[in-house]
């Protein structure tokens, strides 16, 4: 089980995605859990303020320390091992091997069959707990907004992650990208896996060979002959020749 607690002022910008498609499936299968904490609840004064102007001058508002520390400390009070991620343009650039690392910190599941067996209800109807299924990871994603954040916030952050060399309005889109790219690697989330081993992803995903579905001929654009041949060896060779690797 991987859990993400998302600290944000804009839950409505994030939640619909996590309630759709594969993310929803991961939750339904008990493989992922998403929780939200409203930073405003920890705001200061009658206006529940969470930001202020920068010392030394400059445009815009910065996220203040007090609400952020209070929110994170409250989450960590019930799970001291939770790790804090902050999306920021000055972080380490996110990529597939980082996503793999985060997904594999789950401790590794056994086969999907073993996991399903472990989940079968006991005679009394309660769920059977398999110790290996109890391997948990909990990440707190702090979504900054406004022009930035007080630098001292970084003292309680474990991972600074950048989605690329451009500046976004806030941490909500990066949070979704980080979550999606990790959760899809958890065995059982995507359909048709040959193996539930995280290791099966470690030699790169052959995502980039061209793929085709019906019809064979669409407006004169034909599916390559080899893919219709039924010759699995030749198809594998063609795919390998035409593929790029996710690094
Ligand atoms: N916040 C604003 N821009 C960002 C980026 N490029 N990556 C991560 N977080 C951000």
> Tokens 């020749």 map to which residue?
241
> How far does CA 191 lie from the centroid of its chain?
17
Give the Cα separation of 34 and 133 in Å (integer): 18
CA nearest ligand 1 atom 10, residue: 88
pTM: 0.84
Ligand 1 atom at minimum distance from 87 CA: 9
Ligand 1: centre distance to CA 145 (Å)? 10
Give the sign of the dihedral formed by CA 149, CA 155, CA 14, CA 42. negative
Candidate CATH numbers 3.30.56.10, 3.40.50.1480, 3.40.1280.10, 3.40.50.2300; the one for domain 2-183: 3.40.1280.10
Ligand 1 atom at minimum distance from 166 CA: 6
Helix (H) or strand (E) holding 26: helix 21-28
Ligand 1: centre distance to CA 126 (Å)? 43
DSSP conformation class of 90:
E
Write the pLDDT tens digit of every residue in 31-41. Answer: 999 999 999 99
Helix (H) or strand (E) holding 180: helix 172-183
Going by their DSSP bridges, the two strands 137-142 and 148-149 should be labelled as unpaired
Q: What percent of the chain has pLDDT over 90?
A: 76
Mean pLDDT of 143-170: 95
CA nearest ligand 1 atom 1, residue: 88
Residue 145: pLDDT band by 50, 70, 90 thresholds?
confident
Write the pLDDT tens digit of every residue in 180-215. Answer: 999 999 999 987 564 434 444 445 555 689 999 999
* pLDDT value at residue 105: 79
Domain ranges in the chain?
2-183, 206-245
Q: What mean pLDDT is reported for the chain?
A: 87
Ligand 1 atom at minimum distance from 169 CA: 2
CATH architecture entry for 206-245: Orthogonal Bundle (1.10)
DSSP conformation class of 46:
T
């Amino acid at each position: 089980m991987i859990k993400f607690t998302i600290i944000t002022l804009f839950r409505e910008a994030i939640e619909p995605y996590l309630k759709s498609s594969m993310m929803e499936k991961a939750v339904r299968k008990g493989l992922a859990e998403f929780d939200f904490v409203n930073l405003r609840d920890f705001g200061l004064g009658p206006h529940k303020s969470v930001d202020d102007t920068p010392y030394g001058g400059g445009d815009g508002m910065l996220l203040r320390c007090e609400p952020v520390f209070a929110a994170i400390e409250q989450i960590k009070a019930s799970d001291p091992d939770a790790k804090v991620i902050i999306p920021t343009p000055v972080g380490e650039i996110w990529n597939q091997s980082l996503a793999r690392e985060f997904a594999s910190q789950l401790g590794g599941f056994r086969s999907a069959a073993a996991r399903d067996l472990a989940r079968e209800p006991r005679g009394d109807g309660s769920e059977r707990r398999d110790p290996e299924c109890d391997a948990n990871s909990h990440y707190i994603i702090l979504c900054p907004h406004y022009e930035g954040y007080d630098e001292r916030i970084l003292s309680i952050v474990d991972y600074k992650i950048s989605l690329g060399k451009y500046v976004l309005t806030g941490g909500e889109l990066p949070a979704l990208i980080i979550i999606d790219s990790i959760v899809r690697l958890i065995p059982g989330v995507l359909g048709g896996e040959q193996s539930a081993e995280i290791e099966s992803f470690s030699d790169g995903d052959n995502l980039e060979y061209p793929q085709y579905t019906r019809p064979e001929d669409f407006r004169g654009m034909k599916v390559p002959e080899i893919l219709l041949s039924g010759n699995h060896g030749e198809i594998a060779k063609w795919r390998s020749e035409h593929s790029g690797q996710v690094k």
